[in-house]
Amino acid sequence: MAIAKAERLMNLALCLLGTRRPLSKRELRDSIEAYVESFGPGNGATGSDDSFNRMFERDKDDLRELGLVIETVESLDGEIGYLARRDSNRLPPITLDAEEAAALGLAAKVWQQARLAGAASGALQKLRAAGLPEDVDPYGSHGALEPRIPVHEAAFEPLMLACRDRRPVAFDYRKATAAHPEQRHVEPWALECWRGHWYLAGWDRDRGAERVFRLSRITGKVRSRGGRYTAEVPDVVTVRETVASWAGEIADRSARIRLRAGAGYPLRAKATSVRELGDGWDELEIPYGHGLDAWLVEFGPDVVVLEPAELRADVVDRLRAVAKG
């Protein structure tokens, strides 16, 4: 559902739920911002009454399909009004068994930082009231495990709000192979944590393409920018899959590298074979996929690519770019 339509339906539902008497179409048209902007006086629209009636009927039907009970009431003078009584739209009491309460308690305890910590604490209090006994371990049978989603980057909170509000941003970003940061103008889509690092997916306006940014490489403040999004937000944003492919985890080939003994433990964990070469070096065979060159550069002089030649050339080019910077 488009954001503008969802907001319009939400405002209509709030009006119908908040009124103590039936509201006419005219009153709803004058009260809801989306209707005022589209069909208010002075907007120059032709046939605005018919257009409004069609939109209102669609919106009313959509709310009813979502489960809202909307009553139609005729007044003494024959005018039709609408309202949604709270007692007809009240949710049934929530009951939780011990396992359900423990699972929700665990989810609420994951967030422990930024402004989400307060929300999580409030959620736990509500869970207690809804059926989570004081003596129930919110971690279920895994009491020794206390999962956390760490948020150390200052960029997290402004980017989280920008994703929520669909607000373009600008920030300085330093790539792994660059010596100095570059300014990026981004339409943020989604944030996701993968292997202990936070990533932002969005539309890079400067490059005219989808990009994924690691938050730890954002320098300085995240600055908000006005205006609307210029690119359509996809229904599904595959942050983890994109990062995994860039890290060479989605691979269809193999690469041979020399790795200094005692270094590059992430590479050793991925290796399909390891052979000691002597003189402080080992030879590894690792999966090779898109973006492996950028990852290998991060290990600097501890890694030497043996084959394939194209991977070796890409790594050399990236190292030269860093040296020039």
CA 150/CA 142 separation, integer angstroms: 20
* pLDDT reported for residue 138: 47
- Name all domains of the chain by residue range, CATH numbers in brackets: 3-88 (1.10.10.10), 92-148 (no CATH), 156-239 (2.30.30), 253-324 (3.30.70)
pLDDT at 274: 93
Angle of the 116-130 helix axis to the 98-110 helix axis, nearest 10: 170
Dihedral in degrees, nearest 10, Cα atoms 253, 256, 260, 263: 10
Q: Can you tell me the distance from the alpha carbon of 134 to that of 17, in angstroms, rounded to the nearest whole number? A: 35
Helices (DSSP H) in the chain: which residue ranges? 3-18, 25-31, 33-39, 48-65, 98-110, 116-130, 156-165, 239-246, 265-270, 292-297, 309-324
**Quick one: CA dihedral 124, 129, 135, 140, positive or negative?**
negative
CA proximity to 184, closest of 207, 163, 165: 207
Pairing mode, strands 253-260 and 281-288: antiparallel
The two tokens of residue 255 are 């690469």
* Per-residue model confidence (pLDDT) at position 133: 54
pTM over 0.75: no
| DSSP tag of 325 | -
The contacts of residue 257 (CB under 8 Å, 6+ apart) are: 267, 283, 284, 286, 296, 303, 304, 305, 306
**Across the 325 residues of the chain, what is the mean pLDDT of every consecutive 10-residue run?**
77 90 90 84 62 91 90 86 88 68 61 54 60 50 49 83 92 80 93 79 92 89 90 80 61 86 86 91 86 80 92 86 71
